[in-house]
Amino acid sequence: MVKLFISTFALIILASFIVHFDFEKNISEYKLEIPEGFPKPVFPEGNELTQERIDLGRMLFYDPILSLDSTVSCASCHDQSLAFADNKSISPGIKNRLGVRNAPTLTNVAYNPTLLFDGFLKTLEMQVLVPIQEHAEFNSNIVDVAEMLKQDSTYARMSLAAYNRMPDPYVITRAISSFERTLISGNSKFDQEVFQRKNVMNRSEKRGMNLFFNQLHCTKCHSGFNFTDFSTQNNGLYQVYADTGRQRATKLEADRALFKVPTLRNIALTAPYMHDGSIATLEEVIQHYERGGISHVNKSQFITPFKLKARQRKDLINFFNCLTDEEFISNPDFSNPFE
């Protein structure tokens, strides 16, 4: 549930705190465990991973202090048990305000070259600002949040340890981003079968995998180790869209109703589906694609009708279930530190 528009004021505040820091502290770079078959993520210069930054970001991710009335946190819409997504079509913000988009999973967000369904923002550090200032989400001000954090001795101490400075917008955006970059999911049944070379998938799951990779057009968009090419596409969900998608950012008619292709990792946990949470189940998603979608001037050329038998549909769903990473959703390092 995010919107593209970031206030000019918020951007100015962020820019004013993008400063070089060079301090000597006895802290070491955090060694992120990379699953087999995965590349190493690229971290922005000046925000390399350290345990101190990750710990601070984890606290901030789960702390509702970021919202105006201290009722909503990042975790309110990004639940670990749901692969850091939500089970609502549109997640409520403060005062139960609703935005226009479904909360996407944060699975492997470290690899995303762009953020939001618009595929517009380039860094996690920039994305963190969106829910904080968005009226239908936190409706807060990052400068005011920083002032409150400075009064908290724990946050003051952790901020100094992580960035050698007191809490400010620079620290808040970079610490949360650091934690989010550790949310790596690469130990699903699929990973064990394909990358770890274990024979763990049954016949139905393997038939579904063959359908996905070899018989349908799925990998035209859902490709690579993370099951997405990170492009923005129109999948024929509507003829007329209430949400103009990427066009809101670019103002180009060619971008009307284009939305970023999501990862399919942990897809069985992240219902409801689509940018607006309008499809409730995986079976309904498959049926949508079987119909070839609804006509739209920008609809992807790969969205064309096809027909599956009932068993094939079941096989495909069984394969999607193989993309669930139980270790990821139960990892204590990602859990709420306040509990």
pLDDT, one tens digit per residue, over 244-253 is 999 999 999 9
What residue spans define the domains of the chain?
Answer: 8-185, 189-326
DSSP 273: B
Distance CA 333, CA 157 (A): 20
Average pLDDT in the chain? 93
Specify the fold of 8-185: Cytochrome Bc1 Complex; Chain D, domain 2 (1.10.760)
More confident residue, 3 or 33: 33
CA 36: distance to chain centroid? 21
Residue 13 predicted with pLDDT over 90: no
- Asked whether the beta carbons of 148 and 169 are under 8 A apart, the reply is no
Distance CA 132, CA 137 (A): 7
- Asked whether the beta carbons of 86 and 157 are under 8 A apart, the reply is no
Nearest Cα to Cα of residue 241 among 289, 198, 296, 187: 296
Predicted pLDDT of residue 26: 56
Residue pLDDT, tens place only, 68-96: 999 999 999 999 999 999 999 999 999 99
Residue pLDDT, tens place only, 23-53: 444 567 899 999 999 999 999 999 999 999 9
Helix (H) or strand (E) holding 12: helix 8-16
More confident residue, 100 or 13: 100
Predicted pLDDT of residue 11: 44
Predicted pLDDT of residue 29: 82
What percent of the chain has a predicted confidence (pLDDT) above 70? 92
- Asked whether the beta carbons of 108 and 265 are under 8 A apart, the reply is yes
Question: Region 44-68: what's the mean pLDDT?
Answer: 97
pTM: 0.92
The yes-or-no answer to whether 8-185 and 189-326 have a common fold is: yes
Specify the fold of 189-326: Cytochrome Bc1 Complex; Chain D, domain 2 (1.10.760)
Distance CA 50, CA 73 (A): 23
Name the amino acid, one letter, at 192: Q
Neighbours of 297 (CB within 10 A): 10
Q: Which residue spans within the chain are E strands per DSSP?
A: 232-233, 259-260
Reported as half-sphere exposure (CB side, CA atoms, 13 A), residue 117 has a value of 24
Distance CA 109, CA 268 (A): 18
